[in-house]
Structure formats: C-alpha cells, structure tokens
C-alpha cells in the first residue's frame, strides 16, 4: 500500500484493509511516498492510496474500489482468483 501521512483517504484505508483482507493476505506492507519518493516514481504512483495485490510473490492487480470492508473483500477475492499479471 502506497500512502502519505497527510492523506485522509490513506488513513481510512489503513483502518479497514487488514480486516477486509483477513484470510486473503498474510502480510501488509506500507510505503510512505513522502519518504520513499524513488519507489513511488519507480511504480508510477500518482494517486493515493495505491494498493497492489501480490500472491506468492506475483503481482495480481491494483485494488480499486470504495473503502468498505465488504466491497474490498469481494473485489480482492476476484482479483486474486485471476491469473497474475505483469507488474505495473
């Protein structure tokens, strides 16, 4: 998850994401783009928060949906069930 400390949407996602992805994700990694600007440039991060889903070290998709527990869980399940994609 790419975030910034001043981003209200990032704070909202950080609160709901662990519960929404419980059982679907073993780990969560946060990158503060205000500190890791090179990483943000490498991945082409322009909007916050940006959430990438990986399984077994393979990129599956960017998670794009509203920050509601049920919606996140449903969309993440669909994305992780699909074949891995090329990394952004």
pTM: 0.89
CB-count exposure of residue 54 (10 Å: 0-12, 13-18, 19+): middle
Partners of 50 in beta bridges: 2
Query: How do residues 8-65 score in pLDDT, each as one tens digit?
Result: 999 999 999 999 999 998 888 999 999 999 999 998 998 999 999 999 999 999 999 9
CA-angle at 27, arms to 53 and 69, nearest 5°: 65
Give the pLDDT score at 27: 87
Domains of the chain: 2-81 (3.40.30.10)
Indicate the DSSP class of residue 59: E
């Amino acid at each position: 998850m790419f975030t910034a400390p001043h981003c209200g949407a990032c704070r909202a996602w950080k609160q709901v994401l662990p519960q929404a992805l419980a059982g679907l994700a073993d780990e969560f990694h946060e990158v503060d783009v205000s500190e890791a600007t090179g990483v943000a440039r490498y991945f082409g991060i322009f909007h916050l928060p940006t959430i990438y889903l990986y399984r077994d070290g393979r990129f599956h998709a960017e998670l794009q949906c509203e920050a509601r527990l049920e919606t996140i869980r449903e969309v993440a399940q669909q994305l992780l069930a699909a074949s891995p994609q090329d990394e952004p």
